[in-house]
Chain A
Amino acid sequence: MLEEAKNPFGPTLYEARKERIAKGAQIVTMLMAVALIIPMMWIIGLIFVQGWPAMSIDYLWQNPVGGGVAGGIWGPLIGTFFLTLMCLLIVAPIGVLAGIYLNEYAPDNKATRIIMIAVTSLAGVPSIVHALFGLAAFVVAMHMGKSLIAAACTLAIMTLPVIITSTREALGAVPRNFREACWNLGASKWQTIRTIVLPNSISGILTGVILVVSRAAGETAPIMLTGAAAYLPLPNTMPDKLMPYYLGDQFLALAMHLNVIARDVPNMPTEMKFGSALVMLLLILLINSAAIALRIRLRRRKRW
């Protein structure tokens, strides 16, 4: 009573309590959001601190010695590079064209719904099942053996949904009037896509490509069963050092290397372990930052 007499326009006790709850909720949710970022920063920091002593130009340039106990990680690094390159060469054309189909050509019927469900299901398949599939289909049934190409095909199937979704979103962002204007001028569907829609969505598609690279570089299970080796003799002379792997043979990869040194190599010095983890982490973060930067630039550059 007394409080209300003081300020008849002020909040009642009930309202004041609600305000406190609202404020509290804001703080709590903010803490929750921050609580997610903190572990990430802590993990990155930890890996950095423990792995930095091992880093040097030599570390990046030398091949592993003694199974990884000494030397560097050039072999796995270049292996990951070629692996993701091959994966991209396979998945990018198919994925982009599939995205074009889904956004431009697909009629709004049951069949299209099924395709969309298939894309979602494919995205949800566990990585070890992809590994089993790669083993059964590419290594055995298609007689590729445990090889770079088998692993690349497996990763391609795994990352297909990523590029389909990115392409669809990129194409969907192009306004409909662009297409209509083209059609009114007499252009055919494919001509419209080729000349107007694709060039305007290339940044979005590129973002999808970068995400594919990030995914393919980070996965271990699929390549473990389809071709990644623990140790390979690698040439230390140029130019062979730049391209030490053959399509039909086994290879080293960063993800597999990290798996091996975390588990199977005896007396592994701690900073080497963390050094490899650091390189992998930095690589992935760099790739993803590029995707994010591209997306931000795309948003700013939009002319419509």
Chain B
Amino acid sequence: MPQTPSSRKIRANLARYTETFFEVLIKTCGWSAIVCVLTIFVFILFHATPALKEISLWKFFTSTAWSPHHEQYGAFALIVGNLLVALVAMVIAVPLGLGAAVYISEFATGKTREWLKIGIELLAAIPSIVWGFIGLTVLSPIMVHQAGAEMGTNLLNGGIILALMSVPLIVSISEDALRAVPDSFREAGLALGANKWEMVSRVLFPAARNGLLAACMLGVGRAVGETMAVLLATGNTNQIPHSLLDPIKTLTATIASEMGEASRGSMHFSVLFLIGVLLLLITCTINVVADLIIKGTKAKANA
């Protein structure tokens, strides 16, 4: 078909309009992440405001009396429970994760590395409800019969499960951080006579320090925010534990188990959203700080 000047012009215009249309569409989608985060904050905050206005925040943070039936909303033991189980998880997960990352990144070769990485990735894929199920049905009897615990679902049980859940995250980000250290560092270290382990501990760790720190922080974020696994595995007892084998209750489990019962518009409902605000603040802060640390490292490395 012969191309007349007018038809060429129409096609050119059409192409330009399609192009602009797609560019606008793409730009809008680009902002979707921000829109989502802001909307989440707005909605959760909105439903938490009645609680913010009515209940005593001082009691919320310091009292351990959590009894919505009697209008008592002391969340101290819940907060402590959440933080403790994350702490126990990190004590297990950080050394294991860093060690595994070092092995995969520096010592393992070829097929071994491939298979280890696949294994870690599959570990990361296991859903949280399955982990909770494991804690409830498998770890719990072990706790009782082998560790002599009173209740099989307790702090240690939840901590182990959370550790296994956050380790893949720590491993993959630590591994990225170690990989990001330029080979020249390694070569320099070896050239100066260090053996492999000395090179790792004295050259790589300091160089990748920020990335490793960020990895641990992201692991903490994951552990603090986990819901289903702790719901099934920690025993749901609102108390400050005296030992590792005591059951505890976390903020996340509180929301999950009590949401079904709270009537819409009641103070209980609003307080549960308040807990949501608290969780959101904690996890977002951890993630943003970790992200800034990683970005800081990248900027230094590129400079």
Contact = CB atoms under 8 A, between A and B. Distances in A.
Contacts of A188: 15, 19
A22 B195 contact: yes
A140 B222 CA distance: 28
Contacts of A284: 125-127, 130
Contacts, number: 262
A152 interface: no
Q: Give the residue among B26, B27, B134, B198 with the most A Cβ atoms within 10 A.
A: B26
A37 B108 CA distance: 15
Q: For chain B, what secondary structure do more than half of its interface residues adopt (helix, strand, loop), or is it mixed? A: helix
A131 B231 CA distance: 15
A7 B260 CA distance: 77
A106 B34 CA distance: 14
B109 to A, nearest CB: 12
B40 A221 contact: no
A132 B133 contact: no
A224 B121 CA distance: 26
B244 interface: no
A28 B39 CA distance: 46
A121 B291 CA distance: 9
Given A118-B33, A262-B133, A40 B116 contact: no
A137 B43 contact: yes
Given A132-B255, A281-B126, A29 B26 contact: no
Contacts of B118: 292
Contacts of A22: 195-198
Interface in B33-53: 33-34, 36-37, 39-40, 43-44, 46-47
B111 to A, nearest CB: 12
Contact of A129 (B100, B164, B276): B276
Contact of B228 (A94, A97, A221): A221
Interface residues of B, number: 88
B121 A288 contact: yes
B99 interface: yes
Interface string B206-220: 000000000000100
Interface in A248-276: 255, 258-259, 262-263, 273-274
Contacts of A189: 19, 23
Given A133-B44, A220-B228, A288-B122, A262 B33 contact: no
Contacts of B34: 114-115, 118
B104 to A, nearest CB: 6
B123 A36 contact: yes
A228 to B, nearest CB: 12
Interface in A132-180: 132-133, 135-137, 140-141, 157, 160-161, 164
B248 to A, nearest CB: 17
A44 B23 CA distance: 47
A105 interface: yes
Interface in A10-54: 18-19, 21-22, 25-26, 28-30, 32-33, 35-37, 39-40, 43, 46-47
Given A36-B171, A105-B27, A285-B122, A157 B279 contact: no
A263 B96 CA distance: 32
B107 A30 contact: yes
Interface stretch (B56-64, B72-80, B180-188, B281-289): B281-289
A29 B23 contact: no
Counting chain A residues whose Cβ lies within 8 A of the other chain, the interface size class is 35 or more
A224 B260 CA distance: 9
A172 B107 CA distance: 28
A298 interface: no
Q: Give the residue among B23, B34, B171 with the most A Cβ atoms within 10 A.
A: B34
Interface of A: 18-19, 21-22, 25-26, 28-30, 32-33, 35-37, 39-40, 43, 46-47, 93-95, 97-98, 100-102, 104-106, 114-133, 135-137, 140-141, 157, 160-161, 164, 188-191, 214, 217-221, 224-225, 255, 258-259, 262-263, 273-274, 277, 280-281, 284-285, 287-289, 292
Given A36-B96, A124-B283, A129-B276, 10 more contacts: A22-B198, A32-B103, A36-B123, A95-B32, A125-B284, A126-B227, A160-B32, A161-B33, A190-B22, A220-B127
25 contacts: A18-B195, A26-B103, A32-B96, A94-B29, A105-B27, A105-B30, A115-B31, A117-B288, A118-B36, A121-B288, A125-B284, A126-B225, A129-B40, A129-B280, A132-B272, A133-B43, A136-B43, A160-B32, A190-B23, A220-B127, A220-B129, A262-B232, A273-B133, A273-B137, A274-B137
